[in-house]
Amino acid sequence: MKAIILARVSTEEQMTEGQSIPAQIDRAREYAKRKDFDVAKEYQFDESSTKDRRVKFEQVVEYIRKSKENIALIVETVDRLQRGYKESVELDILRKEGKLELHFIRENLVVHKDSNSSEIQRWDVGVLLAKSFVLQISDNVKRTFSNKVKLGEIIGRAPIGYLNITNEMTEKKTVIIDKFRSEYICKIFKLYSTGNYSMKQLAKLMKEEGLTTKKGGKIGLRQIELILKNAFYYGYQLYKGELYPHKYEPLISYELFLRCQKIREGYNKIPRKVSEKPFVFQGLMTCANCGCRITPELQKGKYVYYHCTDHKEVCKKIYVNQDDILKEVKSVFDKLVLPQEDIDKLVNSLKVLEEGKNEFQKRQLKKLRKENDQIDENISIMYDDRLSGSITIDFYDKKFKELMEKKQENEFKMKRLNNANKNYYITANTILSLAQRASEIFGSSEIEEKRQLVNFVFQNLQLDGKKLLFKTKTPFERVLEYQSTHNWGD
């Protein structure tokens, strides 16, 4: 009789337990020799790849189906051939047709066309045990992953900007910052947060500056998008749709990540083609009437006009010349020019306001720390209740998730408060000094520099028909108020 040998391993452990593929094949060959079978083919594969296992299994079935002779399929044991009843259906059809005999060496079991119910039942039990083993492994993996997440350990490979390494002394795996690529990752977030760069422009810039993937591949638009969406960079990892804190050093702040998400969501609201030629106010203005984006349009190859995209189809299309908007913006920059004496007064005035705000922030930090201490205590009490059986596992998991989400929210708030207003006096003084030259720089700069200056000073730019509406950021707002009243309001 013609025979097929099939060998497979699932784990490295099996390789060292006498179940390696060569060992299985040697025993199968000896078995075939004793039975006087003619071995026509040998199949071997690694169970770790489900796709690979399925492809090889289909090849075996197809070979048997096309064969004009009865085939003896020789395997070490039932679980080397199959791990579920799906394969049993296909194999049983071939068995009933007289095309296949199943020879399980370790079980000393042969299943063929004329097998009795006892032999068929032994085969079924073998499949059931194999399936139970798979489910047990799956449960173990889930438990392992769940424990790793709770310990803040990474699941899978670290993203670009980090490296997975193994400590040679302890053989423990960990994650460290990739000193070369991490600088580019930080730069991607910082540039994108300005609103002056699209993902396409960043991909081009990173390619020019030499950033590659860990395997040396090019960084494209898709990679930039994945980087900007990845919470791992600010200290959290995604597992089963939920965010959990990890123990590795973050590359960016949560605030920077949030700014990028807001910009990214803004880009995705209205489908549009990224223009090859940049415009000063592209992506920086919205319509005061409907909230849609204001888009630039080049006419006659040299005149730039802005109008509402009218995505909601409620606006009349009004075209506004870019030169008119530039004049209004420049007039604001002109008003920012102040004598140094007035700058000093403004900074001192702002400092007084900030000192009051700092006291409030201290109270808020104390309150948030107290809340988190209480959350830790509640989790500890709940855990004891779970062990004693006072509460169900489902209830514990639900409340644990709610408490951890609240704790995470509090931690984000504390980070924002701790990072706010550091060296405020120096920062405000520097910004205001730079603002003295804003009008001069704006008039002589290129488009990209103009965009950065507009982003630096203005917020919430809107067009209401042909009228430009805006708010300026602190401390520029105070400067404009002073220019109107000549009073710092202190």
Q: Tell which phi-psi region holds residue 248, choosing left (phi > 0), alpha (psi between -120 and 50) or beta.
A: beta
Burial 375-401 (b: 16+ CB within 10 A, else e): beeebeebeeebeeeebeeeebeebbe
Give the domain ranges of the chain.
2-148, 153-271, 281-489
Q: Which CATH topology does 2-148 take?
A: Rossmann fold (3.40.50)
First to last CA, the chain: 102
Residue 315 burial class via C-beta count within 10 angstroms: exposed 0-12, middle 13-18, buried 19 and up: middle
Return the SS3 of 410. Answer: helix
Chain centroid, CA 443 distance in Å: 41
Strands (E), 394-490: 458-464, 467-472
Helices (H), 40-168: 50-66, 78-81, 85-96, 117-150
Nearest to 438 by CA among 450, 425, 424: 450
Backbone angles phi, psi at 157, to 5 degrees: -85, 145
Six-digit token string for 276? 């090859």
Short-list 228, 258, 264, CA closest to 413: 258
**How far are the Cα atoms of 9, 281, 294, 360 from residue 447, in angstroms, in the given order?**
62, 9, 17, 41
Architecture of domain 153-271: Alpha-Beta Complex (3.90)
**Going residue by residue through the chain (490 aa), what tens digit of pLDDT does each one get?**
899 998 887 654 444 444 678 888 999 999 999 999 999 999 887 655 455 566 778 888 899 999 989 999 999 888 778 766 677 778 888 989 999 999 999 889 999 999 998 888 888 877 777 666 555 655 655 666 677 777 888 888 899 999 988 765 567 788 999 888 999 999 999 999 888 788 988 999 999 888 988 888 888 999 999 999 999 999 998 887 788 889 999 999 988 999 898 888 765 444 444 444 678 898 889 999 998 889 899 888 889 999 998 878 888 889 999 999 999 999 988 888 777 777 676 666 666 656 666 677 788 888 999 999 999 899 889 888 888 888 888 788 788 878 887 887 788 778 767 655 554 544 555 566 666 777 888 888 888 888 888 887 888 899 999 999 998 876 677 778 777 776 655 4
Of residues 231, 264, 234, the one with CA closest to residue 252:
234
Q: Which two tokens stand for residue 224?
A: 């930039």
Instruction: Please tell me the distance from the alpha carbon of residue 46 to that of residue 52, in angstroms, as a whole number.
Output: 8
Structure tokens at 346: 């403004």
